[in-house]
Amino acid sequence: MQQLLSEIRKGKEKRKRLGDMVGSQCGSQTFVEEDDEIEEIPQSQSHVAQQKRNINSYFVPRTTLGAHKTTKRALQSKEKQEAAKMAIARWWYDANVPFHAARSKYYLSMWDAITSMGPSFKGLSYHDLRGSLLKYAVKEVNEWLLSLKSTWSTNGCSIQADGWTNQRQQPIINFLVYCPRGSMFLKSIDTSGLTKDAETLERMFDEVVKEVGVENVVQFITDNDASYKAAGKRLEAKYITFFWSPCAAHYIDLMLENFSDARYFPVIDTTIRKARKVTKFIYNHSWVLALMRRDYTNGRDLCHPVVTRFATHFLSIQCLLKFKNELRQMFTSDAWVASRFARSSVGKEICEIILEDKEFWFNCILVVKISEPLVRVLRLVDNEEKPSMGYLYEAIDKANETIKKNFNNRLSHYMPYINVIDARLDKQLYSPLHAAGCFLNPSIYFKPSFNKQTTVTRGLLNTLTTLIPDEDKQDLISSQLEEYKKAIGTFDMSLAIRQREKLNPVAWWDQFGTDALELQKFAIRVLSQCTSATECEGN
C-alpha cells in the first residue's frame, strides 16, 4: 500500500506538469492519465502490479460505454480516431474473428491494458501467443482449479455425469464437479468401444469418485437411463457415504414429455403441433420474421432455445399466447396481405390458425396452466449461480398446488396431470438429500404453511446417517437439531428470523449457526449442492 501511495504521488506530479502544458481548462486536479501511473511500476514488482489491477477493477474502465475520455484521446482529431477504428476493423475482418467475440468479458480490459502502455507497446507475435503466454494462461487456470478443489473438503461437491453424442457420432460421457464456487470440467470419456452396461459404468464412475476423493463427494448425479441408474446405485451401496441422485432437469423434462404424449393427452399434442407449425413458418421465412420483430414484438422472439427439448415447445406456446394480439394484427396488416406469403397455401393455413382457430388459443391457455409451474422449477434447477438443493422439494410441491389452483381445485380436471408429476417424483426423482435440503432451508421450514415436517425429517435422518458415518457426531448433530427446530440461541435472534427469507440458506447458516458448529457444517454441506447435471450437456 505504501508503494502504491508513492506511485500516486508521483502520478500527481506528472499530471500537474501535463496540466500546465494542456492549459488552464484541463486542470491537473480534474483528470487522470492512467498510463503515466502504470508506466512508473517497475516490471520486477509483479505483485504490486497485480494489486494495482485488483484496485482498478473497482472502477469503470475507460473503454466502457459512457466513460470519460482520457486527455490523449480527447486531443486526437476525429479523422485520426476513425482511422484507428478502421485499422482494428480491417484486422478483425481479415482474421475472420466472430463478431460476438467483442462481447467477451476480457475484451474491454484488453483495450484498457493496451492504451495504458502508450504508443511504444507492440502487439503480440504468433510465438508469444502459442508459447510463454499460453503456458502462463494454463498456469492461471490450474491455480483457479486448485482453489476450487480446496473447498471440496469443507462444503462437499457433486459429481455430474451425462452421456451424449458429438458431431462425429461418437458416444461420450462428460464428468463435471460442482461446488458453490463454480463447476469444474473433470474429463470426457469416449465410450465408442465400450458396452455401456451397469458393470462397465460402475468401474468408470468408481475411478472418477476416487479421483475427486470419496470423502469429498456428497452425491453422484446422472440421468434416468437404466444402466446409469443401476451403476449409480451400486456405487452408492459400495461406499455408503454419498448418494446417487437423479438429474432433476431431466425428470422434469420427462414430465413435460408425458404431457405431450398423444396417447394420453391428445389435446396437448395437437396444440404443440399447431404451435410448432406457426413458429416454424415464421422462423423459416426471414421477411416474416423481420416483420414480426420490427413492427409487432419489439425485437422479442417466440422461440427460446433451452437445454431440454420439450421445455422449448411449452415455452413457445407461452410466447404465442403472450403475443396473441400482436400476431393477429400482423396477419391482418397491409404488409402481410400484400406479400406473396399471404397467397401461399402454408401462409393461408397459418393465418387460419392465428385468426380463426379459437380452440387453438383456448388449448394454449390450458397448456400454459399445466406447464408454466414446471418450467419455473426447471429454471430453478438449471441455474448454476446458486445451489438449488434447499429449494427443489418445496418448488415441486408448490408447482402441484399452482396447477390445482389453475384448475379451480376441480379434482377431475387436474388429477391426470398431478398423477404424472407424482409418479415421476415419488418413484424416480425423490432423494433424501432433497428432503434434507428442504428441512435445513429456514425460509421454507419455518413458514406457518409448511406441513411436510414428517416427510422431510425422515429424509434428513437418512441423509445424516449417510453423510456422517461417525456415530458420536450423529448424536451431537441430532441434539443440535432440536435447537434449530425450536429456534433456540442464535437461531432465535431477531436478525436471524428476519434474514430467513432474505439470505440464501448457505449464507444464513454461516452467519447464525455458530452455536451449533457440527450442525452448521452438515447443513452447509447439504445446501451447497446442485440438483441436476444439465451443465454436462454438450460441454
- Say which CATH superfamily domain 139-246 falls into: eRF1 domain 2 (3.30.420.60)
pLDDT at residue 535, as a whole number: 66
Residue 203 in grid coordinates: 468401474
CATH 3.30.420.60 intervals, the chain: 139-246
Give ∠ CA 35-39-45 in degrees, rounded to 5. Answer: 130
Angle at which helices 266-284 and 286-295 pack, to 10 degrees? 100
Neighbours of 458 (CB within 10 A): 14
Residue reference for cell 398431478: 418
Q: Find, among 171, 235, 162, the residue nearest to 203 by Cα.
A: 235
- Overall pTM > 0.85: no
pLDDT at residue 218, as a whole number: 96
Residue ranges, the chain, pLDDT below 50: 24-49, 51-53, 55-60, 62, 65-66, 68, 71
**Among positive and negative, which fits the CA dihedral 231, 234, 238, 244?**
positive
pLDDT at residue 17, as a whole number: 74
Name the burial class of residue 366, with classes exposed (0-12), middle (13-18) and buried (19+) by CB atoms within 10 angstroms of its CB.
Answer: middle
Angle at which helices 392-406 and 432-440 pack, to 10 degrees? 90
Contact 176, 160 (CB under 8 A): yes
> What is the distance between the alpha carbons of residues 160 and 532, in angstroms, rounded to a whole number?
8
Q: How many helices (H) and strands (E) would you count in the chain? A: 27, 5
> What is the distance between the alpha carbons of residues 242 and 218, in angstroms, rounded to a whole number?
5
